[in-house]
Structures are given as C-alpha cells and as structure tokens.
Structure 1
Amino acid sequence: MLATAGTRDASAPMRERVSAEEWAARVELAALYRMVHHFGMTDLIANHITMRVPGEPDHILINAYGLMYDEVTASNLYKITLDGDVVLRPDVDLGLNITGYVIHGAIHQARPDLHVVIHTHSAAGTGVSGMKCGLLPVSQHAALIDGRIGYHDYEGAAFNLDERERFVASLGSGNLMILRNHGLIACGQSCAEAFIGIYRLEMACKMQVAALAGGIDNALMMPPEALENTRRILIDHPEIGAGTLQWRALLRRMERIDPSWKE
C-alpha cells in the first residue's frame, strides 16, 4: 500500500531547500488541505490533493500518508514525479500512498492545463456516485457545474497503473469527475478554481441527497432553459468559476483559525 519513502534529505528547513516559487505553492496547497478539512470533506488520512510545482511540469506536491488534513503544512509536503518517485522528502517518518500518483499523476500528465487535483470520499459525494442517475439538476449548485462532468466506473482500489488511461478518458476536457461507487474529483488551473469546483460539486451532491430523500419522483428537476441560462453565467462571467474572491476570503478564515499551515 505504501510507496518507497526515499532517502532523507539534509536537515535544513524546507523553505531553504526550495525556490521561492515552490515555497509559495507549498503554502497555498497547505491552505487548500486545511480548507477541505474545515468543510468536512475528509476521510481520516485517506485521499490527496496535488499541485504541480511551478517551473517543474513533471513534479507535483502531495501529502505524506498518515497525516490528517489539518496537520498538513508547507514544509511536510512531498515533492514527487508523476510516477511516484520521491524528489524531495519532508522531515516526517511517513511514506506515500500509491493511489495518490495513480489517480493524480495520470491527470497531471495528460492535462498540462490543470495544476491542482482534489480527490474526496465525502458521504454525499460517494452517495451520489452510487446513484445510477448521477448528478441531477435539482439545485443551482448543480446548474453552476458546466455540464462537462465525467464519470468513471469503479475498478477497485486505484493501485493499478493501467487504469490511468481510463481515468483520463473519463475526465475528458472537463474539470470535474464522479468516480462511481468511490468519490469525487475536482481539478483546476489554481487552488482557487479547484476548491470552488469541489465545493460546488459537494454542495450539489448534498442537496441532491436531501432532495431525493422523498423519492426521485418527488424531486423537482430544473427546466432545461433555466439550466442553460444558469450555465451561461459561467461563460459570460469566467471569474465566477475561478473562485478568486472566495479563495481570498477563505485564506482569511484559515488565518484566523490556525495559521500553522504556512510553516
């Protein structure tokens, strides 16, 4: 289950071992881990969020396997290749979970436009992933998802590198994917875009679970014209999908709660 942890690096602080650009990326990614924890989208030590290292397209940052998301900091992130080889190891006695680079490495490799990938196992997200109907237009949050959501059938725990091509094919040209009987994927060009994607998808799943509590025949679907009008907003106002304002507000909240993610 665990990948080789690699050779321990020099004892200098992580901030002194990386470029200023990489350190800034580490701080931003650590904040994203804290946000996903804050909004209850975690599954103990499972799952991953990855970010491409600035200027190093074949390297990504990822969490050590064994830390809770609210323990992730800029310093304790691993830097690895897309195939899981350790480039820079943090000063922690923890390794890597292979599923991180099977799923995430595949997406980063195939989609150079995407720099951040989030994977979750939330109750609502996994619940909808187990529904034959998939995500339904029963809420405005669902309507704000641009319609290019992918679906990937469950093949077992993601340990098989051969599944990578099928992951990428299922994602297609979109940024969101539902892993059947498994969970959710959200990607973006930035932490802000990836977070607003997973947040809206998670909220849409929660609202769908609530709406279907009375049975699917009692659920009110959004009219096609209303759905199209809402999605048109994302085309006419791309800043809504970028999540920039929300990201700034969330950083302020994380700062108030516990600024240790920046260490």
Structure 2
Amino acid sequence: MGAARGGFFRTGPLPGGAVSRRARVAVVAAALVAGAATGGCAGGAGDRAGDGTPPGAHGPSSTVPSPAPPATSSAPAPSPTPPATSSAPAPRGPVAAELSIPSIGVEDLDVVPYEGTTDDRPGTRIQDRGVAASPYGERGGVGPGDIGNYLVTAHRLSAGGPLRELPSVEVGDKVHVTAEGTVYTYEITETRSTSFRSTRSLAEQRAAVPGEPGEKPTRAMITLSTCATPEDNAAGNFWRDALHNPEHRIDKVGVLTSTRPA
C-alpha cells in the first residue's frame, strides 16, 4: 500500500500487478478503517465515558468551574445594638427595713414585709411580735423608696406598743426608713383616719396615692398606721373585727424628701 501523505492515500500500482478499480476501492476503504482505529481523534470523550457518543461530540470539557467566592469587605462587622436601658432605679420591692421616728423616740423598729393587706391575719401576727408589718402585692403597697404607697402598721397598746405615740406626730416631722444600705427620709404631710367598717375608707388608706383610689402615683409616699382604740373606747365605740382590731386607725402620711447611704 502507498504511504499516506497530505491527508490522502496515493493509489499507484500495488505489488503483484494491476488490479481492478473495484479492488482498489476496497483497499482504500480498508486503509481508512485501520487509520481510524489506531489514531483517530485521540480518544474522544464518548469513548472514555463508554456511552457510545461519537468522538468530539461533547465538545470542550464538561467540567463546571467552581463559582468565585463572594466578595468580602475589609470593614469590620457592626457591633450589635445593646438593649435600651432606663436610668430610673428599679423598684426595691418587699425588703426588710428599720423605721425611726425621732419626734416620738422610735428608733430602729424592725419592719417585716409580707404579701397581703393592712392588718389582715398575717399582718396582725407580725405585729403581735412587737415589730411593724409592711404588706405588698395586689392589695398591699410598695417597698421603701419606691413610687407609690409604702404601708407600715404596728400596734399601739399591745406587744410593747411600738407606735404608742404615733398620734402625736405632726406635719413636718421626719421619718427615716433604712433598707439595704440606703436611708429614705419622708416628711409627714397629713393625718388621716381609716374606718375598718368602710370599704371606701380602706381603699383610700391602701391606694397607691393615699386618699385617692385609682390615681396613678408619681411620688414615693409612706403611710404609718396604728389603732385608735383609746379614742374609739372614749367615744363608746367598742366594735371589733375578727382580729380584735377597733373600727378606726390613725394614719400619718408622708412624702419622700431625700435618700442617702446608710
């Protein structure tokens, strides 16, 4: 067979003499088939994959390049915004305290907080120990120094009578309450009378603004309360409730004027 040049085969006379045209065509076809099997297109993609796809049908490599990483900024990420805070002091709530009323000689009287209302059974039991009681919660008051009505009750005659002289406290007298390292000073502004037989009167005593049920408080206030037993007896009023409390109580109301470290 003649050598392959220029991309085609020279078909000159073959060894052994002349051959027919049909024979020469058969020889050329056989040569073309042999060339495709040994050289071809350098292993087409279809051959490598074994899917029968003709060589070169896949075109360029089908490998998909990885996506470029997202652009990044050299600026630092913003810091999270801190939650808003209020400069107002948090309510002190129910804490033990000590009460001093210089004008009547009361000094460092223990005030025990409890959940309830003025002169109820738990409160009366505390007073029976010779100390003062301070109710808090839905039917009570607030803690020392808090906005609202800080209620403090104690016996006048029994259990040592710690508030025996409370009726003589006058407008302008100072009351000091010490709690958790702070002294709260109140100034007495008025005297009130509460009737245990009047729902309205009790509501006024226990209101967040003393004497004004339903009003929203804007100041820290205090109500000091003790029984009016001698006055009721003198008037012939011997009514008592189930806890032996007389009908009336004497209340001294004050407003917070200053605070200082204890």
Question: TM-score range with shorter-chain normalisation?
Answer: under 0.3
Structure showing the higher helix proportion among its residues = 1
Max Rg structure: 2
Structure 2 length-normalised TM? 0.27
Q: Which has the higher contact order (CA 8 A, sep 6+)?
A: 1
